[in-house]
Amino acid sequence: MSQVPKQVTCPTCGSASLYAATNPYRPFCSERCKQMDLGAWASEQFKVPEQASDREPGFEEH
Ligand SMILES: [Zn+2]
């Protein structure tokens, strides 16, 4: 029995990516694509309106 690595489409660049244990960046094709996706996700999170303005009092630096 031979295991055929599954091929998926890289969500970032759209090229073929190997969905296997040998590819630590799966389902992305490369570290670059993974980082790009994470970056987009993070910037998406930062779009949330500022609601956490209620800081704890007495925690200011002199
Ligand atoms: Zn890619």
User: Rounded to the nearest 5°, which phi and psi values hold at 52?
Assistant: -90, 55
pLDDT of residue 57: 73
pLDDT band at 34 (very low <50, low <70, confident <90, very high): very high
pLDDT of residue 59: 66
Question: Quick one: average pLDDT of 22-38?
Answer: 93
Q: Which domains does the chain have, with CATH numbers?
A: 6-45 (3.30.50.10)
Question: What DSSP string describes 1-60?
Answer: --PPPEEEE-TTT-SEEEESTT-TTTTSSSHHHHHHHHHHHHHHHTTS------PPTT--
Known binding-site residues for Zn(2+) equal: 10, 13, 29, 33
In the reported structure, the alpha carbon of residue 51 is separated from the centroid of ligand 1 by a whole-number distance in angstroms of 35
In the reported structure, the alpha carbon of residue 37 is separated from the centroid of ligand 1 by a whole-number distance in angstroms of 10
In the reported structure, the alpha carbon of residue 24 is separated from the centroid of ligand 1 by a whole-number distance in angstroms of 13
* pLDDT tens per residue across span 1-26: 677 889 999 999 999 999 999 999 99
